Structure formats: structure tokens, C-alpha cells
A and B are shown apart, each in its own frame.
Chain A
């Protein structure tokens, strides 16, 4: 399967714990995006990379969130000291420049 993959698909954690999600984009895509989506809302932009450079990070994103794409291939999104409000679906997408985004299946996070 050459689509975008995300791991894990589901994560349940206790408030205050750290979590890390991984995204493997389509190999020839140079852009990688992270979004957060809650029920009834459209995907909310978090951050994006072009190759290994993080070009923009949402101003809504607290310092507890950090993302990396160390070799311009896979990316990780870490949330430190999770809060119940972090419960959401975290979507990763990749594209070649700012064209059609191909989404992964998402990681559903539940913070208890």
C-alpha cells in the first residue's frame, strides 16, 4: 500500500501523559501536514513541512505540541502533558507542493 499511513490508529491516555504519533507520507510527496479534527468541525491546521523544514505552525497550537520531520520522510507529532481538550482525531496528509492532499487514516486520541 503506497498511501499515507499513521500509527497508532487509536490511543487512550491519562491526562498529563505524553503521546507521540507517527505519519509516513507517500514517498514522492515533499509536503506533510498535520491537522486536528473534532466532531462536527472541519480539519484544523496544526503545522506543515516541506521536506524537513517546518514552514508554519498554527498560532493556536500550544507549546505542548511539537512536530518533527527529521529526514524529510516520516513525521512525528508529540503532545506533552496531555489535557482532556486534546481529545480529537489527528490527521496527517501529504502532497507534492500545495496540491491535492492525500490523507492518512488518522489517529484517534482520547485523554481520560
Chain B
């Protein structure tokens, strides 16, 4: 059965730390992988990854995909309290399957 797994499920760091969030997947007919950030509302889009080894960056966030090993990582450098959220990984092939999310708490 198709599935998306994320680790860790929760993480507590201090402001300024760098974090790496992991997402692995087992999906037939893979086309892309999506990252979302969810605060106390609906998820908001961060990145779409389709090609291995090409890093996508947006400010302090970056992400990369490894299609051979079937995983992606999301890095956040110099974390801020505003980064506290649940980070969701999703794989669309027809329906879109989400992982359980990583709950990140950044403390001052």
C-alpha cells in the first residue's frame, strides 16, 4: 500500500538551531513530492520537488529529493519562533497522500 512516513514526529529546538526533517515514501507512479507548513490553520505550500539532487530554496528553508532512495529532506537554518508549526510531506500521484507531519517547536 502506498505510504508516506515522516521523522521525527516531533522536535523541540532553540532559536538559531538548524533542523532537518525527513520524509520517505513508497508510492507507485511517483511524479513529485510536496512540502507544506501548517500552523493553526490549513496547510500552506512550501516546495514541490520533481527531480533528484536539485535543491529548492526559499529564504532559510531548503529541500532536496532523492528518487533513488525514495526520500526527501527539509532543512531550516537559523530557526525562529515563527517556524514553529507542523511540516507535512505529501506525494501526489492521483489522490495526494500526506505523511503524519513533524511538529516543530522553536523556543527562544
Which residues does A use to contact B, with CB under 8 Å? 33, 35, 40-45, 48, 55-56, 91, 93, 95, 98-106
Q: Say yes or no for B92: interface residue by CB 8 A criterion.
A: yes
Q: Which residue of chain A is the closest to B48 with respect to CB atoms?
A: A100
Given contact pairs A42-B101, A43-B88, A100-B34, A105 touches B96 in the complex (Cβ within 8 A): no
Chain A residues positioned under 8 Å from B69 (CB to CB): none
Question: Which residues of chain B from 85 to 108 have any CB-CB distance to chain A below 8 Å in the complex?
Answer: 88, 90, 92-101, 103
Q: Which residue of chain B is the closest to A40 with respect to CB atoms?
A: B103
Which residues does B use to contact A, with CB under 8 Å? 6, 31-32, 34, 41-45, 48, 88, 90, 92-101, 103
Q: Which residue of chain B is the closest to A105 with respect to CB atoms?
A: B42
**Measured CA separation A98–B43 after assembly (Å):** 16
Chain B residues positioned under 8 Å from A99 (CB to CB): 32, 48, 92
Query: In the complex, which of the residues A42, A45, A98, A100 contacts B99, with contact meaning CB atoms closer than 8 Å?
Result: A42
CB distance from A101 to the nearest CB of B (A): 6
Chain A residues positioned under 8 Å from B103 (CB to CB): 40
Task: Contact check, A98 vs B41: say whether CB atoms are below 8 A apart.
Answer: no
Task: Contact check, B48 vs A98: say whether CB atoms are below 8 A apart.
Answer: no
Chain A residues positioned under 8 Å from B32 (CB to CB): 98-99
Chain B residues positioned under 8 Å from A44 (CB to CB): 98
Task: Contact check, B41 vs A100: say whether CB atoms are below 8 A apart.
Answer: no
**Measured CA separation A98–B41 after assembly (Å):** 22
Task: Contact check, A101 vs B99: say whether CB atoms are below 8 A apart.
Answer: no
Task: Contact check, A100 vs B101: say whether CB atoms are below 8 A apart.
Answer: no
**Cross-chain pairs A/B with CB under 8 angstroms, 13 sampled:** A40-B103, A41-B100, A41-B101, A42-B6, A42-B88, A42-B99, A45-B98, A91-B42, A93-B96, A100-B48, A101-B43, A105-B41, A106-B42
